Amino acid sequence: MKENILIIGGGAAGMEAATQLQKMGLTPIIVEKSEHLGGHIAQWDRLFPAFHPAKDVVDQMLNQVKDVKTYLNTEVTDIQRNSDGFKAILSNNETIDAKAVILATGFDIFKAERKQEYGYGIYNNVMTSVELENFFRTGNDARINNPKKIGFVHCVGARDVKVCNTYCSKVCCTTALKQACEIKEVFPDAEVYTFYMDLRMFGPGYEDLYLKTQKDFDVKCVRGRVCEVSEDMDGKLVIKAEDTLFGKPLKMTLDVLVLMCSMEKNKSIDVIQQKLGVANNSDGFMQNKDMYLGMNGTAQDGVFVAGACTAPKSLPDTIGEARSVATQVFNYINSK
């Protein structure tokens, strides 16, 4: 039985789904728009909660998909349903016939410029969590110059009606604490503050990380949101926030401010998604069939979803979904 399964997106979800489908005897084909597989996770340095190197996981995944037919720097430009399944046209003008389609298109990072009050793109020393992770990976960032005081702002672009995102982005809380510890490792004398609404430590070992952050790394967690950021004459950042546990406003001067940017739906797939007839949910992510038994299905027969294209997800969540989508697709093909 050799049946083509088109997987759009070659991140964690796409790669893991391809691995499983291949083991099941189907023929997965990955179409990835960027020049490499691995998605966002390939840009990451270490993973929470145990500071495990991301490269380790990504390399294992890459190794598993080395025999899978993969198109890099390629996008699906058109897709149509026919009696055999789907016919997709790629940006390199090749055509793929597939029995089923898996959307594993993942997420985009919230554009921090949209929260102008945090000053990203205006003040030099405001950076995003992604840029900080890049610093950990490469050791290069002109903004990080032996900082004495560093702040983290949680929920940037998440749980915020003012940017039209009311959902929780799920992974930023734990990532912020992980990064806070890591920056303390690099600069042990620095003072590190995190500004949170509430800390959502939902997974195994996450709560332990929270305790460790405070006990071992002396990171100060402040419950309250940062309301505005400005720059003083020396180019340092002056932030205003509220400490809701003390019930008092506070003002603080920082060397670096890190914005924990949320996940947003990857909009580059919108046209193809529309052609496939898959709707969005109220958070703007893709709408799956239901939240429980139909989490990998969509309203359209033969169109499946996996990973962060339906909601913000952690890496373990995504891998789990990728494996489950493979089973769903396998059953779907067999029932035909």
C-alpha angle 136/174/213, rounded to 5°? 80
Cβ–Cβ contacts within 10 Å for residue 123, how many? 18
Tokens 């139909």 sit at which residue?
Answer: 294
Restricted to residues 26-65, the positions that interact with another protein (CB under 8 A) are none
CB burial class (10 A; 0-12, 13-18, 19+) of residue 293? exposed
Q: Write down the least CB distance from residue 166 to another protein, Å.
A: 8
From candidates 143, 225, 240, 289, binder to another protein by CB under 8 A: 240
CB of 106 to another protein, least distance (A): 23
Q: Which stretch binds another protein (CB under 8 A): 140-148, 178-186, 208-216, 225-233?
A: 225-233
Return the residue of 161, 204, 292, 335 that touches another protein, per CB under 8 A: 161
User: 31 - beta bridge partners?
Assistant: 8, 71
Site membership for another protein, residue 270 (CB under 8 A): no
Q: How far is the CB of 234 from another protein (least distance, A)?
A: 15
In which order are the strands placed within the sheet that holds 69-71?
69-71, 27-31, 4-8, 100-103, 303-305
Alpha-carbon gap, residue 272 to 88, rounded angstroms: 10
The alpha carbon of 199 is separated from its chain's Cα centroid by a whole number of angstroms, namely: 18
Which string of x and - marks every residue 89-128 that binds another protein (by CB under 8 A)? -------------------------x-xx-x--xx-----
Residue 120: CA atoms inside 13 Å, Cβ hemisphere, count? 19
Tell me how far apart the alpha carbons of residues 58 and 66 are, in angstroms, rounded to a whole number: 12
**Interface with another protein, residue 228, by CB under 8 A:** yes
- How many residues interact with another protein (rule CB under 8 A)? 16
Q: CB of 128: closest distance to another protein in angstroms?
A: 17
How far apart, in Å, are the Cα atoms of 280 and each of 220, 249, 285?
Answer: 38, 39, 5
Closer residue to another protein, CB minimum distance, 227 or 299:
227
CB of 285 to another protein, least distance (A): 18
For position 275 contacting another protein by CB under 8 A, the verdict is no
CB nearer to another protein: give 66 or 162: 162
Binding site for another protein (CB under 8 A): 114, 116-117, 119, 122-123, 161-164, 227-231, 240
